[in-house]
């Protein structure tokens, strides 16, 4: 499973998908957490400021601190929100001269719980320090959002005594707020476990502390976190299942290809992969495979044909031998009968021997060209030897066999044991297929860098339709005819194989009724090439 494409695809997909879901979940959670914190901080800071302004509202000499009513840029605020601002002050917080204390204490004051302590200010050195508006009313103020947790505050005088304090249960740790020391003038924010504090210096060095408990918010946040995690797991599972399905679909064509390939066996080579239903990438693969199957089938067919032909050629003389023997042994015969039987058997075995020799020679030239022991030999002498060897046969067939060769040496780089076969085969072929009284003309010549051997006969010729197959193994122009002459059907293919193993080429031109010309071209050896080129310049 791990090593399968589908498995790996699935693993990688699951990993990437899982990581992105986790990252996305964390981002969402972080963002929500930040929002909640920011909002809480904003509430704490703004409430602290309202308290501060409310305190200042009763101060006689306001000028000095006027600039602090709307501080242009303060660290505490900037830390949390850049667009942090309080907005316009409520009208009751606008500065009023002393004596006009709390004229419109109406709605905010009436609503909400009044502090039991009330604004019981004690006169400090600079005058009485008191709120223009009951400080608890600010806790009700929901300019931003109704807080989930109640805000709490404490205001200390310079000497550390409590000026005002919000409602709360005594001893509740949330409200058990110690007076902070060394706090700067602008609001500063402190984060504790489960709360956020905003602290600032008010008028007459009073210290204002607003605490925003976070318990409910954190619980909500956690709940949100669990929801996200749950959804992530769900999405992940759905995604994995979908991925498994998709990867299955992706892999399916590969399976189809391998199934088709598996169905292709020696007995059934004609099956092909259907490329019409495949994707582009796989079409290429399938075409490559189909091409391979095609070649496999062709070579297999050729092999089958070759085996059938070879066995056919071997069986016929074998059948002769066997039936002759059987007939001779079926009853007692005359001595002449036995003699004739043995003679026939000898001829047949001779035929089989030449066929086996031919097959072996073909197999050898097919398999290993390196076996050739090459040396520079004179093509003229090879051809003249072959002509001399076959002269008798030509004469007894009533044919004229002539040979022409140039004065100079025609050197070719060849293995004489094998090369000798070529002119012998071609000339015997010509003898077989030329009617009595005909003529065979053998010529060796040099053409540029090639040694050329041409054998022309005045035989019956070969029809054009046969020429392309002429050098194929066991190909017969007329089925059975060459058998009458004792040919095996291998002669020409052996010639072709031998010539090609010597880097040469063989071809045939023929006109029906006029005769055929076989032309063999072999590359001249280096010394002969030089000589040939030299001679070309001399005349």
- Does 469 bind another protein (CB under 8 A)? Our answer is no
> What tokens does 133 get?
């508006």
Q: Are 76 and 41 in contact (CB under 8 A)?
A: no
The reply to whether 449 sits near another protein by the rule CB under 8 A is: no
Task: Report phi then psi at 443, rounded to 5.
Answer: -135, 135
Out of 312, 353, 373, 536, the residue judged to bind another protein by CB under 8 A? 312
Upper half-sphere CA count for residue 364 (Cβ side, 13 Å):
13
Contact call for residues 383 and 442 (beta carbons, < 8 A) = yes
Scanning residues 269 to 308, which ones bind another protein (CB under 8 A)?
A: 308
CB of 341 to another protein, least distance (A): 9
- Between residues 353 and 536, which has the closer beta carbon with respect to another protein? 353
Among 16, 233, 241, 327, binds another protein (CB under 8 A): 327
**Which of these segments, 17-25, 320-328, 397-405, 438-446, binds another protein (CB under 8 A)?**
320-328
Measured from the CB atom, is 241 or 308 closer to another protein?
308
Strand, coil or helix: what is 522? strand
Rounded to a whole number of angstroms, the minimum distance from the CB of residue 333 to another protein is 10
Q: What is the DSSP string of 88-137?
A: SPPGGGS---TT--STT-HHHHHSSPPPSS-S---EETTEE---SS-HHH
Closer residue to another protein, CB minimum distance, 255 or 299:
299
Contacts 24+ apart (CB under 8 A), 90-96: 92/132, 92/133, 93/50, 93/53, 93/54, 93/57, 93/132, 93/133, 94/57, 95/56, 95/57, 95/62, 96/57, 96/132
- What is the number of other CB atoms lying within 10 angstroms of the CB of residue 254? 15
Residue closer to another protein, measured from CB, 34 or 481: 481
* Least Å from the CB of residue 347 to another protein: 7
Residue with tokens 């609503």: 111
How is residue 180 annotated by DSSP?
Answer: P
CB atoms under 10 Å from CB of 518, counted, come to 25
Least separation, in Å, of the C-beta of 308 and another protein?
A: 6
Strand partners, 209: 154, 199
CB of 459 to another protein, least distance (A): 16
* From 229, 318, 397, 519, residue interacting with another protein (rule: CB under 8 A): 318
Specify the stretch interacting with another protein by CB under 8 A; choose among 1-9, 25-33, 322-330, 426-434: 322-330
Least distance from C-beta 492 to another protein, angstroms? 18
Choose between 4 and 322: whose C-beta lies nearer to another protein. Answer: 322
Please pick, from the candidates 178, 181, 331, 367, the single residue that binds another protein as defined by CB under 8 A: 331
User: In whole angstroms, what is the distance from residue 453 CA to residue 383 CA?
Assistant: 8
Q: Which stretch binds another protein (CB under 8 A): 58-66, 213-221, 325-333, 428-436?
A: 325-333
**Residue 294 burial (CB count, 10 A):** 13
Residue 443 forms beta bridges with which residues?
Answer: 404, 454
Q: Angle at which helices 5-56 and 215-263 pack, to 10 degrees?
A: 160
Which residues, numbered 120-139, are part of the site for another protein (CB under 8 A)?
none
CB of 335 to another protein, least distance (A): 17
Pick from 70, 94, 311, 535 the residue near another protein by CB under 8 A.
311
The smaller minimum CB distance to another protein, of residues 190 and 306, is found at 306
Smaller CB distance to another protein: residue 46 or 348? 348
Compare residues 319 and 395 and give the one whose CB is closer to another protein: 319
* Identified binder of another protein from the candidate list 235, 287, 316, 389, rule CB under 8 A: 316
Q: Are 506 and 451 in contact (CB under 8 A)?
A: no
Distances (CA, A) of 310 to 77, 194, 267, 359, 361: 102, 98, 20, 8, 14
Total residues belonging to the chain = 539
Q: Assess 315 for contact with another protein (CB under 8 A).
A: yes
The region of 13-21, 72-80, 321-329, 458-466 touching another protein under the rule CB under 8 A is 321-329
330 binds another protein per the rule CB under 8 A: yes
Instruction: Find where tokens 């190909």 sit.
Output: 475
Q: How many CB atoms lie within 10 A of CB 164?
A: 26
> Per-residue x/- marks for another protein, 471-510, CB under 8 A?
-------xxxx-xx--------------------------
Residue 268 touches another protein, criterion: CB under 8 A: no
Interface residues for another protein in 333-372 (CB under 8 A)? 344, 347-348
Distance in angstroms (rounded) separating the CA atoms of residues 310 and 306: 6
Look at residues 263, 267, 264 and name the one whose alpha carbon lies nearest to residue 292: 264
Residue pair 451/287 in contact by the 8 Å Cβ criterion: no
- Give the number of residues in contact with another protein, rule: CB under 8 A: 26
Least distance (Å) between residue 458 CB and another protein: 22
Least distance (Å) between residue 462 CB and another protein: 15
Between 439 and 476, name the residue whose CB sits nearer to another protein: 476
Return the structure tokens found at 449.
């860098």
In the complex, minimum distance from the CB of residue 476 to another protein, in angstroms, rounded to a whole number: 8
Give the binding site for another protein (CB under 8 A): 308, 311-313, 315-316, 318-324, 326-327, 330-331, 344, 347-348, 478-481, 483-484
């Amino acid at each position: 499973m791990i090593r399968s494409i589908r498995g790996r695809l699935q693993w990688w997909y699951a990993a990437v998908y899982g990581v992105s879901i986790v990252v996305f979940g964390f981002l969402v959670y972080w963002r929500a957490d930040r929002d909640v914190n920011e909002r809480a901080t904003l509430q704490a800071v703004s409430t602290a400021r309202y308290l501060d302004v409310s305190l200042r509202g009763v101060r006689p000499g306001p000028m000095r601190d006027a600039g602090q009513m709307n501080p242009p840029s303060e660290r505490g605020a900037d830390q949390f929100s850049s667009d942090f601002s309080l907005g316009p002050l409520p009208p009751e917080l606008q500065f009023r001269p002393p004596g006009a204390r709390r004229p419109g204490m109406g709605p905010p004051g009436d609503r909400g719980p009044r502090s039991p302590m009330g604004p019981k200010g004690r006169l400090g050195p600079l005058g009485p320090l008191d709120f223009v508006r009951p400080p608890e009313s600010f806790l009700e103020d929901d300019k931003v959002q109704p807080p989930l947790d109640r805000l709490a505050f404490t205001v200390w005088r310079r000497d550390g005594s409590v000026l005002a304090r919000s409602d709360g249960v005594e001893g509740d740790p949330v409200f058990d707020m110690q007076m902070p020391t060394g706090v700067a003038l602008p609001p500063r924010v402190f984060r504790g476990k489960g709360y956020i504090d905003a602290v600032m210096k008010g008028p007459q060095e009073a210290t204002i502390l607003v605490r925003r408990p976070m318990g409910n918010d954190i619980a909500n946040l956690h709940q949100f976190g669990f929801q996200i995690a749950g959804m992530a797991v769900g999405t992940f599972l759905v995604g994995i299942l979908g991925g498994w399905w998709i990867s299955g679909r992706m892999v399916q064509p590969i399976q189809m290809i391998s199934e088709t390939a598996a169905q292709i066996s020696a007995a059934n080579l004609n099956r092909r992969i259907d490329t019409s239903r495949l994707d582009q990438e796989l079409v290429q693969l399938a075409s490559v495979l189909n091409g391979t199957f095609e070649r496999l089938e062709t070579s297999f067919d050729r092999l089958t044909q070759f085996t059938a032909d070879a066995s056919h050629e071997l069986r016929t003389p074998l059948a002769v031998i066997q039936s002759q023997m059987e007939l001779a042994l079926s009853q007692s015969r005359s001595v002449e009968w036995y003699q004739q039987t043995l003679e026939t058997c000898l001829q047949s075995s001779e035929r089989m021997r030449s066929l086996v020799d031919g097959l072996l020679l073909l197999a050898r030239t097919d398999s290993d060209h390196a076996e050739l022991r090459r040396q520079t030999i004179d093509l003229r002498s090879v051809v003249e030897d072959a002509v001399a060897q076959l002269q008798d046969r030509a004469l007894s067939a009533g044919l004229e066999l002539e040979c022409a060769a140039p004065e100079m040496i025609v050197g070719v780089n060849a293995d004489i044991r094998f090369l000798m076969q070529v002119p012998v085969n071609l000339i015997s072929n010509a003898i077989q297929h030329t009617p009595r009284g005909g003529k065979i003309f053998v010529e060796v010549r040099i053409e540029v860098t090639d040694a050329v051997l041409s054998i022309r006969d005045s035989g019956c010729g070969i029809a054009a339709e046969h020429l392309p197959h002429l050098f194929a193994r066991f190909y017969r122009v007329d089925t059975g005819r060459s058998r009458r002459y004792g040919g095996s059907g291998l002669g020409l293919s052996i010639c072709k194989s031998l010539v090609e193993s010597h880097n040469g080429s063989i071809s045939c031109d023929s006109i029906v009724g006029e005769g055929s010309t076989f032309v063999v071209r072999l590359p001249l050896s280096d010394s002969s090439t030089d000589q040939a080129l030299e001679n070309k310049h001399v005349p």
